[in-house]
Structure 1
Amino acid sequence: MGANGDGPVDTEEAIMQATYRALCTHGYANLTMQAIADEFDKTKGVIHYHYDTKEALLVAFLEYLLDAFEQHIAVEGDDPVERLETLIDTLLFGPPERTTFDHWELTTAMLEIRSEAPHNAEFRRQWSRNYETVVAMVVAIVEDGIETGVFRDVDPEQVAMLLLVSINGARIYQVTLERDDVAEVTRAGLEAIIHEWLCEDEAETSAR
């Protein structure tokens, strides 16, 4: 991509948006370059100019999706409990402010591509990077909580794994079963873990 905000950047952004719309409409199994071109306001030849093959396009598209996802889940603040709860909410329900993508459409699109990761080394590499990025966010919050005495002295990486496995499972069930209650129940359960187990003072109070 160009770095100066000129035509190539705009064209590649348009290709990414067209790929997203085509994926949401057709699903991964039926996604073709023609289907993407049908969502694009230029010819299929323009797509091939930027991406030689469908696989090269989809590798770039996954990076595009994951970059957008990571930007939307950034959380700030001083209170580790609030930061962790905000991150859980954002991962489960999307950011509170409006973004380019509908949260559940984006979740479905990412799930479609995730299913190909066992068969595609580049997809797997990008998903691993994404997982490590989100784990690092959770670990940083938990470490801050331990240092300030808000959280018990726990293994931050184990906490991160517990939270992310629960959240990813909820997201998968939510989009595959169309069960509106799955994410809500998961949030309630994770909040109970935070307040009844992870928080130092609240855990001691509950044990009495």
Structure 2
Amino acid sequence: MTTDDEIMEATFAALCKHGYADLTMQSIADEFEKSKSLLHYHYDSKEDLIVSFMEHLLENFLEEFDEDSDAEPMDQLLRMTEIVVEGDDSEGPDDVHMALLGLRAQAPYDEALRAQQVRNDCHIRELIADIVRDGIEQGQFRDDVDPERFAAAFRSAIEGAQSHDVILGADAPTETALAGIEEYLLRGLLADGETLEGRTA
């Protein structure tokens, strides 16, 4: 594991313990097995470190999703729904989702963090749009679907379901939201004769 990887793990651990509001370089250093001076050598400020952490989260998401990159387009979208909404499938919201929600809440007040959030969002929406284009080319999806418009709606739906799951906990309508995403968004992509039978998120 590289020093950068260790710093990212320490940042994640500190975020889970303290949340963004109470996160400091010292609290990150407390989770870092090496010296605080090494932390400052790599990053000038907490803000710089958090922007890098957001890039790290995007890379991890893409690596996890890439495992299914050879799957059918619909299966890829179902898998993305599973990863984003359900996370590690543990009881209650997982730590990654809680950390993400805390960072998103700070974006309106932090230009660098907001800019990185925008980059992450654009990257993921383009990934979704590319999957839709593949589905259209393969004749699985309707040819009148706008990939970018679908990507924006789908991204908002799955991220909203994820946020509700974190905020509302056991009272979140997560299963209802997943059913709605499948019925009103994913089924709407299908070309005549195509079905979702046998596919599960």
Q: Does 1:145 align with 2:135?
A: yes
Match of 1:173 among 157, 164, 176: 164
**Residue identity (%):** 40
CA contact (8 A) 2:47 2:112 kept: no
Q: Does 1:128 align with 2:118?
A: yes
Q: Which residue pairs with 1:193 in the alignment?
A: 184
Deviation (angstroms), 1:26 = 0.5
d(CA) in 2 for partners of 1:173 and 1:113?
15
Match of 2:76 among 78, 83, 86: 83
Q: Which residue pairs with 2:148 in the alignment?
A: 157
CA contact (8 A) 1:72 1:95 kept: no
Query: What amino acid maps onto 1:162 in structure 2?
Result: A
CA contact (8 A) 2:154 2:185 kept: no
Deviation (angstroms), 1:21 = 0.4
d(CA) in 2 for partners of 1:195 and 1:49?
47
CA contact (8 A) 1:73 1:95 kept: no
Q: Does 1:71 align with 2:63?
A: yes
Deviation (angstroms), 1:120 = 2.0
Q: Which structure 2 residues correspond to residues 7-156 of structure 1 after superposition, within 5 A? A: 10-74=2-66, 75-94=68-87, 104-152=94-142, 153-156=144-147
d(CA) in 2 for partners of 1:141 and 1:95?
23
Deviation (angstroms), 1:170 = 0.7
Query: What amino acid maps onto 1:164 in structure 2?
Result: R
Deviation (angstroms), 1:124 = 1.8
What is the TM-score when the length of structure 1 is the normalising length?
0.80
Root-mean-square deviation over aligned CA pairs = 2.5
CA contact (8 A) 1:14 1:40 kept: yes
Q: Name the structure, 1 or 2, with higher relative contact order (CA <8 Å, separation 6+).
A: 2
Query: CA offsets, 1:28-83, max 9 Å, x none?
Result: 11111221121122332221222222222222222222222222223323522222
5+ residue gaps, structure 2: 195-201
5+ residue gaps, structure 1: 1-8, 97-102, 204-208
Count how many residue pairs are aligned between Structure 1 and Structure 2: 191
d(CA) in 2 for partners of 1:179 and 1:202?
37
d(CA) in 2 for partners of 1:70 and 1:83?
12
Computing the radius of gyration from Cα coordinates, the structure with the larger value is 1
Deviation (angstroms), 1:195 = 5.6
